[in-house]
A and B are shown apart, each in its own frame.
Chain A
Amino acid sequence: MDNVSSHGTTAHGHVHEHPHEHAHEELGWWRKYVFSVDHKVIGIQYAITGLLFLLFGFCLMMIMRWQLAYPGRPIPLIGQWLGQARAPMGIMLPEFYNQLGAMHGTIMVFMGVVPLAVGGFGNFVLPLQIGAPDMAFPKINMASYWAYFLGGVTMLLSFFQRGGAAQSGWTSYPPLADIADGQTVWLIGMVFLITSSLLGSINFIVTTVQLRAKGLSWMRLPFFVWAQFVTSFLLLLAFPPLEAAAVLQLMDRLVGTSFFLPSGLVISGKPLAVAGGGNPVLWQHLFWFLAHPEVYVLILPAMGIVSEIIANNTRKPLWGYTAMVYSVVFIGFMSFVVWAHHMFMTGMGTTMSAFFQTTTMIISIPSVVILTALLLSLWGASIRFTTPMLFALAFLPMFGIGGLTGLPLGLAPSDIHLHDTYYVIGHFHYVVAPGTIFGLFAGVYYWFPKATGRKMNDLLGTLHFWTSFLCINLVFMPMFIEGLAGMNRRMYDGGMQYKYNASVLHWNVVQGYAAWGLGLAQIFFIVNFFMSIKWGKAVDRNPWEATTLEWSAPSPPGHGNFLTEPIVYRGPYEYSVPGAARDFSPQFEPEKA
């Protein structure tokens, strides 16, 4: 990747007007690759860091899966190194299971998926797709990455505290989270991560509004840009309440306040020596006010990526682009008024319960519109089964399953049975694992040639896809069965202690094997990724014969991105235009005389 800052003439640079600018281009190694303000470098930093955290979070889950499949059996190989506080004689302590659970969720959501989907893909692709030389605020962009990095390091280091890492779920409900070990460092880590998010979202919004190329009107934007734009508003407006809540929980833990501690709380037989008067459900409101829009932050970028790839590999415009745009904006808005469907069991009255059930049902409509539009886009298409397209196609039914299984959770009567069971875990993993993460894999395969000038290997890609697809369904589909039987989540013994789980316990073993298969399947990806950087097939700037602006820049683009100022002449998905010479008419190509 050593031609990221080339000395080419750039449209927005001043090559001959300011001679000293040329000297600026010679940045030292640290300024070029580590403390870079170039959105492409920052995007790659986010992506690689995010992928590493995804891998780490996956490993945490693997250790959990062992315990769930064989409760009380010493953990093989690594059990001996975990130490007395975590796994004496290699047997996992419940406290350690809880740490693994809380940190798996935290790391996957806040340090894995969102940084990759938004920080990685958003940073790298967005300015290119709108014809901008960089983000509106490059230095703030760099700051946002390092805030993320610091937050990530803080979270990792939290495992080494006395008392261990956070262990009250990623949801950190008080009263437990107010008094449990490990939570303080988690809260500090969250403050860093939230800061990173806020800086990034401001950048994305200003960039999209202000730096679109000439001719790039709003309804000519690639759907990926719309998805990132809405996502940024969600991050901007929904994260601050969690930041406030984190401050309040820190105050409860460090200063002795009782924001979330009710009067008369007794812990292990002793009344807690605090003023009381607090409200544990207050935390839930503030947390879910963020965490519900957060799940749309998790899915929308992947929908954006999948949309780009489907248009490109069907050689047709997306069906219902306008409806998709209105739907994604509507989803963004509605996502702020559904949060208490995570709180149906907190004792709210039937009126508010009905309110949240209604808004939740309403928000499913635009999601279905988007999914339907993508499915209809396949009708009559000339489908090219490239590696990105395999993952993008699989996204559709996987997101479908994830979305549909959300419906009984969004209706209070059925939620009574399903809340806090494995059904919930199955639901959200379907959306985020074979859903979003497949979309992100698709994106890596799709934009790898733009970032490196080389394609990833197709055979390895196909192997990666099919093995992952098989194993991931074997991991998560049984969760619906377990959940319907009533198996609770967050049980360190896999539910063994409850008789009603007896008929479904064997699924834990199946899921264990499947998880291993899924892990091994990623080897195809990891090998492919690193091999292709050096030895992948070299390609020109538009190997996928795509229509959007990023494909007019060199691969990889130099500092400032475009050699001539990009001008947009048409919509984003002008494929198979009747009468055109080729089956694609790029946005950036003028009409031939």
Chain B
Amino acid sequence: MNIPYTVEIRPDTGLANGKLGIWLFLASEVMLFGALFSTYIILRNGAAEWPHGELSVPLGAINTVILISSSVTMVMAWASLKLNDWAKHRLYLIATFVLAALFLVNKYFEYSDHLAKGEGPWHSTFLAIYFTLTGLHGLHIVGGMIVMAYFIGPGAKLWKANADQFANRIEYTGLYWHFVDLVWIFLFPVLYLL
């Protein structure tokens, strides 16, 4: 049974099903992280003092650079498909995956640094919201990596079977990935700088 508009675009809405679907999912994610940002605001407003300098700004900045670069490689992975350049697509998609892994490695060092000093989420509301926000963000990175791994691995077959559908799926993965980058664009100044 064929579901209409899975790949081809519905004329009056201008959308394929998956495009609308992924944007709706991202809308729900905005509300998810929004709740945590709201938590940050309320807890910080209610605190007598708020820690500064507990986080490594250089590490955070490097991670920001890593994630922004991964957004560039991700959109290039999709654009390469549109230009029918399979090799470039593979290069960029794998690069995105590697950059994501690098981000997580940095996070590992950050976390273990704090935990070694006994400064876990239980230590203060600042660290609690820091670990929760970056932890949830990190989980989203892992999720993105799993999807990328699928499209690097077994999922790549779809390019031969249905090129348009494969390109769409890479586009949707990209939208998700850019959102993950977007969240970090706010996380970095809010947690590390302010």
Query: Does the CB pair A241–B1 fall under 8 Å?
Result: no
Query: Does the CB pair B35–A244 fall under 8 Å?
Result: yes
What mask results when residues 10 to 33 of chain B are scored 1 for a CB within 8 Å of chain A, else 0? 100101010011001101110111
Query: Does the CB pair A205–B122 fall under 8 Å?
Result: no
Query: Does the CB pair B122–A257 fall under 8 Å?
Result: yes
Which residue of chain A has the shortest Cβ distance to B24 in the bound complex?
A202
Query: Does the CB pair B31–A240 fall under 8 Å?
Result: yes
Query: Does the CB pair B121–A257 fall under 8 Å?
Result: yes
Interface segment, A270-278, A390-398, A418-426?
Answer: A270-278
Query: Does the CB pair B39–A244 fall under 8 Å?
Result: yes
What mask results when residues 96 to 133 of chain A are scored 1 for a CB within 8 Å of chain B, else 0? 00000000000000000000000000000000000001
- Given the complex of chains A and B, what is the CA–CA distance between A286 and B132 in angstroms? 16
Query: Does the CB pair A278–B1 fall under 8 Å?
Result: no
Give the chain B neighbours of A201 by CB distance below 8 A.
24, 28
Query: If A209-B13, A247-B132 touch, does A275 touch B125 (CB 8 Å cutoff)?
Result: yes
Q: Is A44 close to B, CB under 8 A?
A: no
Query: Does the CB pair A275–B1 fall under 8 Å?
Result: no
Which residue of chain A has the shortest Cβ distance to B32 in the bound complex?
A240
Best-buried of B5, B32, B35 by chain A (most CB within 10 Å): B35
Query: Does the CB pair B47–A277 fall under 8 Å?
Result: yes
What mask results when residues 201 to 223 of chain A are scored 1 for a CB within 8 Å of chain B, else 0? 11101100111000000000000
- Given the complex of chains A and B, what is the CA–CA distance between A257 and B17 in angstroms? 41
Q: Is B83 close to A, CB under 8 A?
A: no
What mask results when residues 242 to 262 of chain A are scored 1 for a CB within 8 Å of chain B, else 0? 011101100100011111000
Query: If A133-B1, A202-B21, A251-B121 touch, does A210 touch B13 (CB 8 Å cutoff)?
Result: yes
Chain B interface residue bracket vs A: 35 or more
Which residue of chain A has the shortest Cβ distance to B133 in the bound complex?
A244
Q: Is A12 close to B, CB under 8 A?
A: yes
Query: Does the CB pair A134–B3 fall under 8 Å?
Result: yes
Best-buried of A13, A206, A210, A244 by chain B (most CB within 10 Å): A210
Minimum Cβ distance to chain B for residue A178 (Å)? 13
How many of A's residues come within 8 Å of B, CB to CB? Answer: 47
- Tell which of B20, B28, B39, B46 touches A286, judged by Cβ atoms closer than 8 Å: B39
Give the chain A neighbours of B39 by CB distance below 8 A.
244, 248, 259, 282, 286
- Given the complex of chains A and B, what is the CA–CA distance between A100 and B28 in angstroms? 32
Give the chain A neighbours of B117 by CB distance below 8 A.
none
Minimum Cβ distance to chain B for residue A73 (Å)? 45
Best-buried of B24, B121, B132 by chain A (most CB within 10 Å): B24
Which residue of chain B has the shortest Cβ distance to A18 in the bound complex?
B2
Q: Is A10 close to B, CB under 8 A?
A: yes
- Given the complex of chains A and B, what is the CA–CA distance between A286 and B46 in angstroms? 16
Query: If A136-B17, A206-B20 touch, does A275 touch B35 (CB 8 Å cutoff)?
Result: no
Minimum Cβ distance to chain B for residue A155 (Å)? 22
Query: Does the CB pair A236–B27 fall under 8 Å?
Result: yes
Query: If A237-B31, A256-B122, A277-B47 touch, does A13 touch B1 (CB 8 Å cutoff)?
Result: yes
What mask results when residues 32 to 73 of chain B are scored 1 for a CB within 8 Å of chain A, else 0? 111110110011001100000000000000000000000000
- Tell which of A137, A138, A247, A255 touches B21, judged by Cβ atoms closer than 8 Å: A137
Q: Is B138 close to A, CB under 8 A?
A: no
- Given the complex of chains A and B, what is the CA–CA distance between A198 and B121 in angstroms? 28
| A-B CB proximity, top 9 nearest | A256-B122, A244-B35, A241-B35, A240-B32, A257-B128, A240-B31, A277-B125, A136-B17, A560-B1
New A-B pairs, 9, CB < 8 Å, besides A205-B24, A241-B32: A13-B1, A14-B2, A133-B1, A134-B1, A198-B25, A210-B10, A257-B132, A259-B129, A274-B122
Mind listing 25 A-B residue pairs with CB under 8 Å?
A: A13-B2, A14-B2, A133-B1, A133-B3, A134-B3, A201-B28, A209-B20, A211-B5, A211-B17, A236-B27, A240-B34, A241-B31, A241-B32, A241-B38, A247-B132, A251-B128, A256-B122, A257-B125, A259-B128, A275-B123, A277-B47, A278-B125, A279-B42, A279-B46, A286-B39
